[in-house]
Structure 1
């Protein structure tokens, strides 16, 4: 009897209600996860784009055109007093003031031209010359046929009756109504410069010239200002069109109609000497005007060919003498009639014989406005104190224009090119956004900041890349797995250290320590590699029985006492090295013998501190990339007879190169964007010097320092946003290049 057994396989039902429900739930989870990833990725991209657009929104006004709009037109106020020789307004541009040809001062409403007050000249003699000390001081000087001069000042008192602002103009005589004896002849040209302790009046007549210095002394009993006059002998210059006294009362500049400038030295008032003769222009042009730019350092010379040139004193290092030097110019196609200076910026406006007004900034040489505002009969223009208004007088009367010109000092050439600033000996790249006085010339060159950013990143990467990559190679490929599991987390833990702590330690501890032990620092850089190689050689010469006492892959632990001993030895021998080779002062040897400037907080400090901060990032990504290389590749290489080193160089590194390159680029991005370390350890000086012993200022550090103190909407504020945009673009370009190279490397070595 035969017994047979049938074995039936159980049937699997994939359409049970439970499995259907499970598949639906999983499909729902997949869709939700996909939507979440898509939304998250899109949100990140959108956030980055919004940041970019916001930066552009803040930066765009820097390069937008200015505008000028007519506000009021009316006949000349108090026209019976004569034509205007000077125009201005008070701070709010509500009350205007004009000096008439007969010496009267007329105050009027800017809105409708109605006369508020007319102050007649206190003397009956004919006014033969007139001078303005400066637009900001409000001091005016009137010269007469008898050679005497009266100094007046227009002032404005603000009250608030019934809660409404009321501006009351008045004329004061700070040095009294008694005229000052300056000359014994009718004065035709007059120049006036006031100072804290004295003021100077220079006068030229038909055939004579005179100069008077008036010293101001305060009577301690009556607290009144007592004046004492001192006359000087001034050489006569014929055919004079304009005269200027420098702001420090050192020099007198006398210009003829044909553009010949005579410079007189006033420092020895008893012996005034001709310092230099300068040709302001070489062609057949005629001098139109010569006036000081804000700050009384730059002289702006306008001629009949439409050219306005800027001149200021430049000191010669060899002779230590100042020389009036041509700096730059702008040109109009037709003859100029008048030039007006802004009272709070380095800007000016030109009026030509067609009635066209052009507004420029002297530093950036940027033209912001070029519009026809008159029919060609205009003779005089003047800025309001805030440069938000412009008065123009022509044959029809007075015209007031509203000016919207917020950022004239910014141009591409001033941001990225060399600019010759007042008081500098040559054109330079300079960042200096503020100063203690109101005459400051803003310097907004981003070149020192961009250079400092690259310099800091270069020295940080110079230290971090070799150490991080070599450490990652050994850790991932040669180190014992048990030791690797301990070393890798410790190094990655370094990344958790706040950079402000690293910057604090670098600036307050490491920088002075490095300065005091420069010999030890450079000795370590030489002795440590040689000492490690020597120890490795000696270790390889030991008997195998001794070497086998240390498990394979644990040998790096033996280097710890070696490194500590070598570093201690270099530190202990530092005074002896410094005394033997550098006369006991290595810093002095670097500065005096090598001619290299030394700053305590320098790029070397940044290299160590920021390199320490960047190492964990590069190490971690590189180590993961090398450790992720398939073991089959390394085992196959070793099986074919390659050594461990050959396998590493020719198989592992090429395969891991996309990850290594990404690690370096991410580390560089970290170094470029680092703020606190460079802020606290570099001295934060915006200079362009590759010297490792000099500091720098980076874009990120500059933003951290200056954004909180900048005025919202100002040129400084928007320039800082431009710096942020430059940093954003730089990071974007670096990341784009990195991704492109990484994809290329992945395609090239992905088939291994």
Structure 2
């Protein structure tokens, strides 16, 4: 009885123990299941959050620009004369009004309160007959032409101080050429038109009288051991009738002069040599039925903006022709209005401009993006307009005697679908093109944000990498999984997979500093490699059948590939050894020079060929590992059944194994392609990293990923450049997502098609 109780007790304990372990196992299974689900959802959530963050940064690029009326008030000190020019300092707090009586009124922008009145020193027996804003505009200089053939140059400036923690802007004027008027023409000849270029070391003035056009240049030369500077003057007279000249402009460098006639003819002069101006070009720039109503430089002074009576604004820029001569050519036009364009104002730091038509319609455009940003009706009968240096505010004087102050929100005018994805005709370029050049060292630079060269470079790098990696990785995976001896396989597969752990920065470093110079030096040997190595393998295979049977029997089945290793190494060594003799015998000493002279193909040391080899080496382990697993996982009964039915091993491989493993092989190729598309360091270090569009294998490229890595550290946070870089990341993200989605759809169809084998 005691034994029965003991046995029963042990049985109960055993069942209790089994029940405990079953519950614990179920609990672990549940934890693992929910853990895997949580991890998967976390990955999806992370990817979605990355997408929305990229979208959040990029979205402001496509927000519309806005303009709002901030205030209006009577023209300050209207009794002092008619307004010739309105101007503002960059903080949009103080404005200046230049009048036809030689007075300058500084006033508060927001309220119109007068802050300072100043009178220009003008000789008693003369009066103002012409006026112009000097170039460069951001220097704040103006010039007055007088009735006695003299001129006065005045510069308005603003001093910023802080009193009681409050910013105070104090306006003032100075005379950069002295308060004594400059004599430009014969006494008694009124200066009908005038223009000037003023810089620290030189001043160039062009003045027009009823009979002649005079050019005067003043050069300041500072002595090495003296405080005083000497002023050297050069005078010249243009051999052109002055009667028809309607407007004159000098660029900010003082090297080019533009004369515009009332008939719409533009005369373009080279005044680099101030003593002998040279007429470079003369042509009509408007239709015969139209007249020019406004004219100004676009920022940088490489282009002219010409407004006409039909409401059209054309951009004329200096373009080099086939003879390498600089000629003015119309590169784009904007239809602003059906009425005449009465005023044009260029932004001082970007390639945008403001327009006013005869109906009081204000428009803001960007030349490179070729789009209208703002269109607002301001007032009827506008007579003067000023655009702030930061292009975030505008002042306008209307016929009703009031000043309108408008604020402008226009952060990213450079971006448009055309600027990003289509050809754009940039300044100084001979034709429209796809260009990426995002920054330069000055404010006159025209940003070029075409994403096409970056997308092209990304696809080009991935194509050449896959061209190298796919044959080697897939053929290696087929042999390793299907033909190789299992003992040999357990060493080969881990070694190849270990290659994938190599840091890409090391591969890029080796590719840039060793592989690129090596291929350049042995270029013919590299191409000979593709001929000599296959021939050596075929010769070895032919000779293999004549080997003694006792020797063949000693080699384990599936291990004979090891014997090919020394053959391939010796053939490769031989190919590079004959590189120099081949170049001397066939290519006149240099294959690179032969490509250039005979075929017109240039050669850059760091090019797509180097990228293909280096990045292909990085992609091979990924494709090989996944494809080898897919092939090796094909059920054995399929292969055995095929062989039993009389199929050869090659027939079994091609008709059964590869078809069954095709979804996995396709996944391997797609994952490898994704790795190639997103690769950064190898492309960055082994190419010239230039965003050029050239299919040649001997030219470099710049990829989306490499571009982000190079330019993100130097971009200003929240700037257009910064957001466009995030846009390139979004494009790369979307491209990868779409491509992988299509690949998954194809993989599923392959699985359904061949799952019945």
TM-score (norm 1): 0.95
Q: 2:175 aligned to 164, 173, 176, which one?
A: 173
Matching residue of 1:149: 151
Give the corresponding residue for 1:126: 127
Q: Which residue of 2 aligns with 1:217?
A: 221
Are 1:554 and 2:559 counterparts?
A: yes
> For residue 389 of structure 1, what is the aligned residue in structure 2?
393
Q: Which of 119, 134, 137 pairs up with 2:139?
A: 137
Contact 1:334 1:353 survives alignment (8 Å) = no
- Note the C-alpha offset of 1:286: 2.0
Displacement after TM superposition at 1:37 (Å): 2.6
Q: In the TM superposition, what is the alpha-carbon distance from 1:151 to its structure 2 partner?
A: 1.3
Q: Does 1:73 align with 2:75?
A: no
Q: Is 2:484 the counterpart of 1:479?
A: yes
Counterpart in 1 of 2:5?
Answer: none
Structure 1 portions without partners, runs of 5+: 1-11
**Who is 1:244 aligned against?**
249
| Matched residue, 1:6 | none
Q: Which residue pairs with 1:684 in the alignment?
A: 689
Deviations 1:410-458 (A, max 9, x none): 1010001111111111111111111122211111111111110000000
SS in structure 1 opposite 2:76? Answer: coil
- Distance in 1 of aligned mates of 2:402 and 2:244: 31
Distance 1:550 1:350, change over 3 A: same
Give the alignment partner of residue 161 of structure 1, picking from 145, 152, 163. Answer: 163
Q: 2:598, 2:85 → 1: CA distance? A: 59
Q: Write the distance in 1 (CA, Å) between the matches of 2:714 and 2:234.
A: 47
Task: For 1:529 and 1:85, locate their aligned partners in 2 and report how far apart those are by CA, in whole Å.
Answer: 82
1:305 is aligned to 310
Q: CA deviation at 1:265?
A: 3.2
Check the 8 A contact 1:241/1:287 in 2, yes or no.
no
Deviation per CA, 1:1-37: give whole Å up to 9, x if none: xxxxxxxxxxx99996555555544444443333323
Q: What's the counterpart of residue 314 of structure 1?
A: 319
Map 1:636-675 → 2, pairs under 5 A? 636-675=641-680
**Which of 461, 486, 500 is residue 456 of structure 1 equivalent to?**
461
Q: Deviations over 1:632-678 (max 9, x none)?
A: 11111111111111111111111110000000000000000000000
- The answer (yes or no) to whether the contact 2:210–2:242 under 8 Å persists in 1 is no
Residue deviations 1:537-561, cap 9 Å, x none?
1112323233223221111111111
Return the alpha-carbon distance in structure 1 between the equivalents of residues 371 and 228 of structure 2: 47
Q: Does 1:543 align with 2:548?
A: yes
Tell me which of 258, 261, 264 is aligned to 1:253.
Answer: 258
Other-structure match for 1:517: 522
Distance in 2, Cα, partners of 1:607 & 1:196:
53
Quote the residue 1:605 is aligned against.
610
Does the 8 Å CA contact 2:209/2:242 hold for their aligned counterparts?
Answer: no
Tell me whether 617-626 or 99-108 shows the greater mean CA deviation. Answer: 99-108
Partner SS state of residue 548, structure 1:
helix
Q: Does 1:332 align with 2:336?
A: yes
How many Å separate the matches in 1 of 2:608 and 2:306?
Answer: 45
2:406 to 388, 401, 409: 401
1:206 aligns with 2:210: yes
Q: Distance in 1 between matches of 2:682 and 2:251?
A: 45
Shift in Å at residue 206 of structure 1? 2.8
Paired with 2:429 and 2:16, the residues of 1 have a C-alpha distance of: 87
What SS does the aligned partner of 1:541 have?
Answer: coil
Query: Which of 586, 598, 603 is the equivalent residue of 1:593?
Result: 598
Question: 1:611 and 1:519 mapped to 2: Cα distance?
Answer: 20
Structure 2, unpaired ranges of 5+: 1-10
For residues 273-422 of structure 1, the aligned pairs below 5 Å read 273-317=278-322, 319-335=323-339, 336-374=341-379, 376-394=380-398, 395-422=400-427
1:434-513 matches, within 5 Å, as 434-513=439-518
Q: Is the 8 A contact 1:247 1:297 kept in 2?
A: no
SS at match of 1:691: coil
Superposed displacement of residue 301, structure 1: 0.5
Q: How far apart in 1 are the matches of 2:256 and 2:24? A: 90
Partner of 2:7: none
The structure 1 segments of at least 4 consecutive aligned residues displaced by more than 6 Å after TM superposition are 12-15
Q: How does 1:97-112 map to 2 (within 5 A)?
A: 97-112=96-111
Q: How does 1:698-737 map to 2 (within 5 A)?
A: 698-737=703-742
Cα separation, 2, equivalents of 1:174 and 1:270:
23
Q: Distance in 2 between matches of 1:19 and 1:673?
A: 52
Q: Secondary structure at the match of 1:160?
A: strand
Do 1:475 and 1:484's aligned partners in 2 also have CA atoms closer than 8 Å?
yes
Distance (Å, rounded) in 2 between the aligned partners of 1:433 and 1:267: 30
Count of equivalent residues: 739
Query: Does 578-587 or 712-721 show the bigger shift?
Result: 578-587
- 1:216-273 Cα offsets, whole Å, 9 max, x none, are 2224444333322222121124333211123343332111233221223324544434
Describe the SS at the equivalent of 2:110: coil
In 2, the alpha carbon distance for the partners of 1:501 and 1:365 equals: 44
Q: Decide whether the 8 Å contact of 2:337 with 2:357 is kept in 1.
A: no
Per-residue CA distance 1:521-543 (angstroms, 9 max, x = gap)? 11112111111111111112323
Q: Contact 2:631 / 2:658 at 8 angstroms: preserved in 1?
A: yes
Kept in 2, the 8 Å contact 1:82–1:102? The answer is yes
